[in-house]
């Protein structure tokens, strides 16, 4: 059977047609980037510093702390990235922690929950109803029983609901998946309170594994002054692992993520691969060295001061955004120290134009560093022009 596809038709693939196609995509992306509000991507990046490496195949094989026979790798740079996060996330002794750069925050969640399963044997996974979809998906992949507990109206896990679920499973080992910046509402689970629940029910550290999904706000909250200690993304709470995304607040030009975990958990799964001259301790055998360089470039160029500026500026703009909508009598949810502004879902025209993320009757905009005042003002004007006509039909929840 002959299969044809226009994009592979050599009659069409002349240099002029190829260049025209790429130019068309570039123009489209530039236009869409200028009106992007709905997803937590930091589009305010400069890819030029790492563009010189586009001519190299950079592959981090095996364990980041061992390297491999393959010479075009950046495992040393990867270790610097992990050390940077170990400091920001307050790992007491960096030698006791292990980390790696992966394809996304989702990969970090999956690998962390795999390590948890291998550590605990036959545990039950508990997560809130507002957890990212990758958490229950990981449970299905790993064949781990997953239970949900309710979140409160802000989107944060409810300690009383958590206590009820943990109490009902007090004779089992528990994986607790918490979130630092929930997907739709940007809420922060109180890590300290949740661990206190485990302590009170009698789930001691030998029978639990606590993972924090910090895809977005684990790179925001560490740089906020006066933060309530309970929601601070920190290993000082006694957590076992934490992950974040590189393409969100960090601002890389490709999806990627970072996982940091207590080294003792990784030792349990490590196996030697002789032909790599390395250990198998990661989910993917081949890992993107370009992503490592992209994260390293942003961390070292911006530094703590740069991310502190990002956090302060974005939180202030989110407050202004919410205030502008409220002044037009629009009901808004904005959690403290969050970048996620939640409001009733507008028309499909505005959803598509501003690429809003929606769930039920709600939509949200996320104020990333590239979301400047002019874009916020434009959206607020467009939204409030519709609001008097739609307000009776909209239900905010």
238 burial class (0-12, 13-18, 19+ CB within 10 angstroms)? middle
End-to-end CA separation in angstroms for the chain: 53
DSSP string, 185-254: T--B--HHHHHHHHHHHT--GGGEEEEEE-TTGGGTGGG-TT--GGGS--GGG--SEEEEEIIIII--SS
Q: How many other CB atoms are there within 10 angstroms of residue 140's CB atom?
A: 9
* 3-state percent helix, strand, coil for the chain, nearest multiple of 5: 45, 15, 35
Distance CA 375, CA 380 (A): 9
DSSP string, 41-57: -------HHHHGGGGS-
Phi, psi at 371, each rounded to 5° = -85, 100
- Specify whether the CB–CB gap between 191 and 177 falls below 8 A: no
The contacts of residue 15 (CB under 8 Å, 6+ apart) are none
Report the run of H or E that residue 320 belongs to, with start and end: helix 289-326
Q: Which residues are catalytic?
A: 338
Phi, psi at 374, each rounded to 5° = -65, -40
The contacts of residue 253 (CB under 8 Å, 6+ apart) are 45, 47, 50, 247, 294
Kind of pairing, strands 124-128 and 174-179? parallel
Distance CA 188, CA 178 (A): 9
The whole-angstrom distance between residue 150's C-alpha and the CA centroid of its chain comes to: 21
Distance CA 63, CA 80 (A): 14
Instruction: Compute CA distances 16 → 9, 20, 21, 225, 259, whole Å.
Output: 14, 6, 9, 54, 43
């Amino acid at each position: 059977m002959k299969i044809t596809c226009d994009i592979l038709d050599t009659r069409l693939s002349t240099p002029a047609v190829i260049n025209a196609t790429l130019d068309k995509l570039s123009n489209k992306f530039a236009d869409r980037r200028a009106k992007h509000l709905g997803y937590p991507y930091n589009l305010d990046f400069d890819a030029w510093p790492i563009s010189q490496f586009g001519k190299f195949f950079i592959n981090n094989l095996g364990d980041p702390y061992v390297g491999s026979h393959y010479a075009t790798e950046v495992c040393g740079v990867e270790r610097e990235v992990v050390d940077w996060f170990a400091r920001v996330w307050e790992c007491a002794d960096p030698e006791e922690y292990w980390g790696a750069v992966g394809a996304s925050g989702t990969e970090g969640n999956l690998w962390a929950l795999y390590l948890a399963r291998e550590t605990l044997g036959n545990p039950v996974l508990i997560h809130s109803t507002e957890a990212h979809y990758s958490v229950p998906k990981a449970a299905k992949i790993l064949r781990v029983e997953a239970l949900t507990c309710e979140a409160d109206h802000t989107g944060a896990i409810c300690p009383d609901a958590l206590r009820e679920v943990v109490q009902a499973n007090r004779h089992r080992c528990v994986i607790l998946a918490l979130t630092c910046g929930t997907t739709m509402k940007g809420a922060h689970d109180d890590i300290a309170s949740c661990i206190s629940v485990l302590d009170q029910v009698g789930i001691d550290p030998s029978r639990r594994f606590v993972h924090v999904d910090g895809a977005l706000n684990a790179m925001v909250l560490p740089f906020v002054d006066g933060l309530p200690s309970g929601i601070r993304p920190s290993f000082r709470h006694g957590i076992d692992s934490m992950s974040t995304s590189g393409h969100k607040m960090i601002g890389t030009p490709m999806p990627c993520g970072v996982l940091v975990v207590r080294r003792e958990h990784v030792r349990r799964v490590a196996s030697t691969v002789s032909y790599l001259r390395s250990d198998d301790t990661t989910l993917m055998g081949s890992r993107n060295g370009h992503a490592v360089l992209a994260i390293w470039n942003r961390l070292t160029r911006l530094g703590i001061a740069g991310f502190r500026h990002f956090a302060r500026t974005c939180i202030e703009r989110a407050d202004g955004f919410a205030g502008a909508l409220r002044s037009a009598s629009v009901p808004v949810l904005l959690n403290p120290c969050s970048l996620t502004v939640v409001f009733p879902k507008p028309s499909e025209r505005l959803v598509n134009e501003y690429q809003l993320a929606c769930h039920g009757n709600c939509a949200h905009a996320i104020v990333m560093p590239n979301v400047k005042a002019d874009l916020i003002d434009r959206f607020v004007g467009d939204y409030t022009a519709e609001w008097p006509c739609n307000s009776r039909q909209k239900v905010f929840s």
